[in-house]
Chains A and B, each alone.
Chain A
Amino acid sequence: MPHVDGFMYPNEIELQWSVLIVLYPFITGLVAGAFILASLERVFNVQAVKPTYRLALLTALAFLLVAPLPLQLHLGHPERSFEMLFTPHTTSAMAMFGFVYLWYLMVVLLLEIWLDYRKELVLAARASRGLKRLLYRAITLGSDNISAASLRIDDRVGRIVTIVGIPSAFLLHGYVGFIFGSIKANPWWSTPLMPIVFLFSAIVSGIAAVLLLYIAISRLRRATIDLVCVDTVARYLYYAFLVDFSLEMLDLVHRIYEADESFRALDFMVKTRLFTSQIVLQIGLGTLMPLAILAATQLLRLAPATRIRLYVIGSVLTLTGILAMRWNVVIGGQLFSKSFLGYTTYKMSFATREGMLPAILVMLLPLAILAVLIKLLPPWEQPLALANQADAETS
């Protein structure tokens, strides 16, 4: 039994939502953020970030595919999870989220990727044989038409999809925030700011993730890093982070000022049980430090190599900070008693269904999927078929 200080209602002592539920908003946050970065180019014509466009879409897809996994591992009866789609309770944010997720996955993300890659996919289908050809034919739905007219239509439809996709991305992660923010029983969660804070921290984490992946993969491919691109992405990261930080500070100041009945209990909890994860990791290392680093890159004239190194450090710290924020919201919200008279502890096991091991695997799986996606749908200039042709010619 977890150790209790003070008094907790007997049924509150064991935590209900584990580290897997911490990962879920983190993963969906990365999805929303990566997509918004991609839409910067598509809808707002920020040409500078074009090199990250496809990578951002593939990153979003890789993480979105994994997103239901922590939930399934958590459910008492995952085999009944289809009930959420067949008999959704319309007053439940969790139920409606199932449809937001499906909508976003099928109508926005997959469609946009499909339309953007269709030409290369058809070319790849023409140029490959056997199982690979079958796979590409299946993905292109057997269509062989890549005439200029059809590609123009693709582009127009794609643009509409992206425009629709932006509010969909907002809805995707704003909804996750609402799932917490609408629980009046829990004062740590219940605030109208929650969906907005979640959304902006999602944007921050998504941009940071794509920035990091772009730099890392370019290094691995020994390709040159487009400096204008990373500088622009980093600038957007900085702006988004400033907004996110302001929102979180607003929530904090508001709580301290109003000091309602929950304040003393929550304040004590932050200063003791959440000190490392909130003060040190989320605020210190995870927000103030990357903000300072990003500010430095914006305000000082630094050599490209230094800037790239700082972007890497800044992104890693940012992602750590956003992950810590999810931890502090989910776990923190369950460490104190609703009687405001006590605290419990979270005992994270290792190799159980909801332990640290599956958590680590869940975080690594999207990277594996991304590697496969990059192989199937290369994000960079040379399409697969043409690359094979080029190789054949030079060898």
Chain B
Amino acid sequence: MKRSFKDVEHLVRLAACFLAALLVFAIARAALVPKDFGRYGHYRAGALMDVRSHPPKYAGRVRCAECHEDVIQTAAPSRHKNVSCEACHGPLLKHADDPEVAVAKPDGRAGCMRCHSARTGRPLSFLNIDAEEHSGTDPCSSCHKPHDPRPSEDDEVAADEKPGDKK
């Protein structure tokens, strides 16, 4: 059977259409894919910087110590020595950068109760109390100073004992 070019011409046109579409695809891809995609892996390298550039809000204890070494020293003999300042005072980076910014003072009872009210599930070695039994409606701060919560100076705490350590 003699096959002339005319008889496959329509298929050639079709092939040309496909090639044109592929070309459009290639051009669009080159234009739209971010230039730094794939530098470290199958992702946009700029994403790392995007995540890293989020401004922190918590200062970290090391930062607090820069100005408040005295508070750190106060807490040192007590069980609160390893509790971070921001656990009770909330995020403090703004204050660390600008000391004029006020620092929240936690409530003298509710703030303590979050950790110290007796809840099923708390390790037995962790000091828990039933608030009403212990002190009625008095605020905790009437007997315990938050930075050094020892009721008396005689309460000995091992130097490296962390809250929650088994006795």
Contact = CB atoms under 8 A, between A and B. Distances in A.
- Do these two chains interact? yes
B46 to A, nearest CB: 14
Contacts of B21: 106
Given A87-B33, A153-B3, A140 B10 contact: yes
Contact of A118 (B1, B10, B38): B10
Contacts of B6: 145, 147, 150
Contacts of A150: 6-8, 10
18 contacts: A86-B32, A87-B33, A114-B14, A141-B10, A141-B13, A142-B13, A143-B13, A145-B6, A145-B10, A147-B6, A147-B7, A149-B3, A149-B4, A149-B7, A153-B3, A153-B7, A153-B8, A153-B11
Contacts of B17: 141
A149 B1 contact: yes
Contacts of A309: none
Interface string B1-26: 10110111111011001100100010
A44 interface: no
A120 to B, nearest CB: 14
Interface string A133-177: 000000011110101011011000100000000000000000000
B29 A86 contact: yes
For A87, A118, A140, A157, the residue with the greatest tally of chain B CB atoms inside 10 Å of its CB is A87
A347 interface: no
Interface of B: 1, 3-4, 6-11, 13-14, 17-18, 21, 25, 28-29, 32-33, 37-38, 42
B74 to A, nearest CB: 38
Interface secondary structure of B, over-half rule: helix
Contacts of A140: 10
Contacts of B32: 82, 86
A157 B11 contact: yes
A89 interface: yes
Contacts of B37: 87
A204 B32 CA distance: 41
A141 B3 CA distance: 21
Given A82-B32, A149-B1, 15 more contacts: A86-B28, A86-B33, A87-B38, A87-B42, A114-B14, A141-B13, A141-B17, A142-B13, A143-B10, A143-B13, A150-B6, A150-B8, A152-B1, A153-B8, A157-B11
A40 B17 CA distance: 29
B13 A145 contact: no
Contact of B7 (A82, A141, A145): A145
Contacts of A143: 9-10, 13
Contacts of A89: 42
